[in-house]
Amino acid sequence: MLKKFLLATLIVLAYANASSAEVITVPLYKLAPVKAVDLKCINGVYSLQIPVPERWRIKRATLGFDYVNSTNLISEISQLVVKLDNYPLAQRKLSAQFPEGNMSVDIPVSMLKSGYHTLTFQTAQHFSRECERPCSPDLWTTINLDRAALRVEYELAPVPLKLSYINNYIFDPKTFPYGEVNIVTADNSSNTLTLAGIVASGIAKRFDYKKVYFSMSRSPKAGMDNVLIGDGKFVEQHLGNNVRVSGPLLKITHLKADTTHALIVVSGNNTDEIKLAAETLANISHSFPGTDEARPTEFKLPEIIPYSGRLVLSADKKYDLKTLNLNTHTFEGINPAPKDITFRLPSDFLIKENQYADLVLNFVYSPGMRGDSVMTIMLNNRSVRAIHLNQAGGDNIEGYKIHIPTYLFKPGNNTLSFVPVLVPNVKECDLLMSNNMFLTLFENSTLYFPPMPHFVELPAIELFMLNAFPFTRWPDGYDTLVYVAKADEYTVASAMNVIGMMTQKNGFPLFGIKVSVEKPDSWKGELIVIGDVMSIPDELKAAAPLKLLNPGTVPYQVIRNWEGEANLAYSKQASGLGPGLGALMEFESPYKRGRTALMFTASNTGDVWALTNALLEAHVQAASAGDMVLVDLTTQPEYRISSLSAGGKYSTGKLGRLFFIDYYLYSYPLVYQILIIVLIASSGLALFFYIRKVRRRRLNA
């Protein structure tokens, strides 16, 4: 009996231990693009989205924040309200006597179901009991998101053993602050790593923009989700006889002694079969299949078009706004929130002057607004046009055409915003009714972008950070080789991190990418090199802008100068990166002219992995440009970054039928100059001799 009791106690304790809650504290600025919010006017509102992963069972959630309000506010009629999904959680008077305050708000767990929740800070602010200007400078409250935090206590729910839960449950973009996945392989051969790359790419795509760290090992790791890749023998080694591999196989099971994490099996009898299983895994994007295993026999991808990818706008095609995810929308009230359309242009668009994108708008606006009401069209936060809404009786406008010069667009992400400013036609102290003011923008409005050639000057790491250009010119990574200079645990995990990042940038799984541990001297495509300095071949180091040889050449900027103006000194020295410093360098491949090599390196493989982790941070990506980026890994999480353009330039682009001429003319402008001079000289001489002959004939007549 006692034995039974002790056993039961142990089981309870073990269970209690296993299900003990995780605690996570997330600074709010990680969930919003700003560090402080100003709530202005009589009705100030700011909202942000809080994701709740489906596998979380939240035990408790508390929101804490500081605020400062204007000392001109009248406390009795000024207040701050915190809402979740439009339901008030807490409110507080804004006191002129105590303008600084903090709030701690317990969020009811029942409200935090899986999905995205809108957290709103809203103020009602007044400095006068009589009539007042609705947007007087006296009316403000600032919330410091930098010091605000959401503390969540949660525990993980058991993973349902259905393959469809791979999507939006196991690999969930709502996971925060990051995802973690371990890939288990039998070896680090090129074939295996290529398969792992496809799997990593598919997983990263499921996480959408959320950063995900990969690791690789020979056996599953506890405390995270694992993917096991290998043939039947390798699977049997880890799962015993329960799993029979007779062909391509996808299977989900629990991690040993941990039902909250999954072990996903990607297997087959040979590489092709495993690849088929991996590609199938990478594409599961809805609730099918409902079983724990699938045996795929065929996988057919859609036609892969160069330069396609997530939200990429095709040139020479007219899109209506509905297609661009902007349905008919009505802006209401005095200061309605703007609406954005976000799209991407290929990174190598040669944006030419003298070409225009056409935006044709259909909209209607209400009567009774003041004559200075406008709708501003903004492109990448720059106003490009304001439409005057000056008809007192309102208007229905169809086919309002706006030409936007293409040079205002940029390669990569672009945001087109519609920002209405609707002004009521009342005087101060009149009864303000704003409900009559509206502007409806119809979804059949169109946007057309003219045809553009693809041609760009490289190196430009910023383009890699935009959409992994040029490695995703073929969106599936075809024509790209990831060279793992040293096949150790860190370096291969770094390769998976890079592949994951590239996938998330372009939004297309990298089914065509190749990973190799062999020296890539015969590779004629785009090349990604990952490894510590010692293991990278000398010819690659010699081609890089920072020549990590011994002695090596180091470029230094002498003075800060205008962009594009060379102002570099070169020092030849025997030195090195040293621990804690990572380097990312882009340069022309020494194995094929016009192709790109991108090198991730550090003094040891641990730092290489840390470098690839650092590069997953948005602010590190934003600061990476030129052809050489040095990341001080010891300054985590802020990271000290130096970007520089120090190496030679080369060009790449979409090549037409006259490839040879295009290539040489663009790549070697000097050839063109010489050609012009030769042409002029030879035409001049030919004309001279010809006319001389004609004249002689004439003079002898």
Partner 1 sequence: MRLLALVVLASTLFVLFRFTERYLGTMYQVIIGWGSLSLFVVLYKLKNSQKPPARIFLIVIAAFITLRYFIWRTTDTLLYTGIYDLLGMSLLYIAEIYTVTIHFLGMFINIWPLHSETPPLPDDESKLPTVDVFIPTYTEHIEIVRITVTAALQIAYPKEKFKIHILDDGSTIARRNNPATADAAWERHFALKSLARELGVNYLTRENNGHAKAGNINHGLANTQGELILTLDCDHVPTRDILNNTVGFFLRDEKLFLAQTPHFFINPTPVEKNVVANVNISGENDMFYRVIHRGLNSWNASFYCGSAAVIRRSHLESIGGISGKTITEDAETSFLLHAKGFNSVYVNRPMVCGLSPETFDDYIIQRTRWAQGMIQLFIKHNPLFEKGLSWGQRLCYFNSCFFWFFGLSRLVFYIAPATFIILGMRVYHASITQILAYALPHVFATFFLMDFLYGKVRRPFFSEIYESVQSLFLIPAVISVIFNPDKPSFKITPKGTRLEKDALNPLAMLFFIVVLVNLAAMPIAVSKWFSFPMYRDVIIITTAWCSFNILLALMSLGTFWEMKQVRQHHRIMAKGQVSVLFKRNNETIEGRMLDVSLTGLSVAIKPSFALGPHEDVIIEATDSYGESYAFPAVIRRHRNTVNGYLCGAEFACHKENYGQIVRFVYGDGKRWMDLWNENIRSKGSPKILLNLLKRGVKGCYGCLIMLTKAGKRRVNAITLTQTAMSIKLTFPVVKRYIIRPVDIVRGISPRPERT
Binding region for partner 1 (CB under 8 A): 318-320, 323, 350, 352-356, 360, 362, 384-385, 387-388, 391, 395-401, 403-405, 407, 444-446, 453, 455, 653, 658, 661-662, 665-666, 669, 672-673, 675-676, 679-681, 683-685, 687-688, 691-692, 694-695, 698-699, 701
CB of 647 to partner 1, least distance (A): 19
CB of 659 to partner 1, least distance (A): 11
Write phi, then psi, for 96 (nearest 5 degrees).
-75, -30
Q: Name the residue nearer to partner 1 (CB basis): 452 or 485.
A: 452
CB of 602 to partner 1, least distance (A): 36
Residue 304 is given by DSSP the state P
Q: Name the residue nearer to partner 1 (CB basis): 240 or 393.
A: 393
CB of 415 to partner 1, least distance (A): 18
Query: Helix, strand, coil % (nearest 5) of the chain?
Result: 25, 35, 40
Tell me the C-alpha distance between 485 and 518, whole Å: 8
Closest to 414 (Cα-Cα) out of 426, 404, 423: 404
Tell me the C-alpha distance between 216 and 185, whole Å: 7
Checking 83-89 for CB contacts under 8 A at 24+ apart, the result is 83/118, 83/119, 83/120, 83/122, 84/111, 84/117, 84/118, 84/119, 84/120, 85/111, 85/117, 85/118, 86/118, 86/120, 87/111, 89/63
As beta bridge partners, residue 598 has 528, 586
Q: Name the residue nearer to partner 1 (CB basis): 105 or 378.
A: 378
CB of 698 to partner 1, least distance (A): 6
Tell me the C-alpha distance between 16 and 616, whole Å: 35
CB of 249 to partner 1, least distance (A): 44
Which residues are within 8 A (CB) of 73 and not within 5 positions of it... i.e. 6 or more apart? 94, 95, 96, 125, 126, 127, 138, 139
Q: For residues 197 and 499, is the Cβ–Cβ distance under 8 A?
A: yes
Q: Name the residue nearer to partner 1 (CB basis): 299 or 319.
A: 319
Question: Do the bridges between strand 526-532 and strand 480-484 make them parallel or antiparallel, or are there none, so unpaired?
Answer: parallel
Dihedral of the alpha carbons of 153, 15, 258, 283, in degrees to the nearest 10: -50
CB of 694 to partner 1, least distance (A): 7
Residue carrying the six token digits 């939200």: 311
Residue carrying the six token digits 């989900």: 252
Token pair for 269: 């009898």
Q: For residues 355 and 450, is the Cβ–Cβ distance under 8 A?
A: yes
Q: Name the residue nearer to partner 1 (CB basis): 388 or 619.
A: 388
CB of 627 to partner 1, least distance (A): 19
Q: Name the residue nearer to partner 1 (CB basis): 158 or 394.
A: 394
CB of 543 to partner 1, least distance (A): 25
CB of 443 to partner 1, least distance (A): 11
Q: Name the residue nearer to partner 1 (CB basis): 375 or 502.
A: 375
Q: Name the residue nearer to partner 1 (CB basis): 370 or 385.
A: 385
Q: Name the residue nearer to partner 1 (CB basis): 136 or 440.
A: 440
Give per-residue burial for 183-193: e unless 16+ CB within 10 Å, then b: bbbbebbbbbb
Q: Name the residue nearer to partner 1 (CB basis): 445 or 612.
A: 445
Closest to 381 (Cα-Cα) out of 42, 33, 30: 33
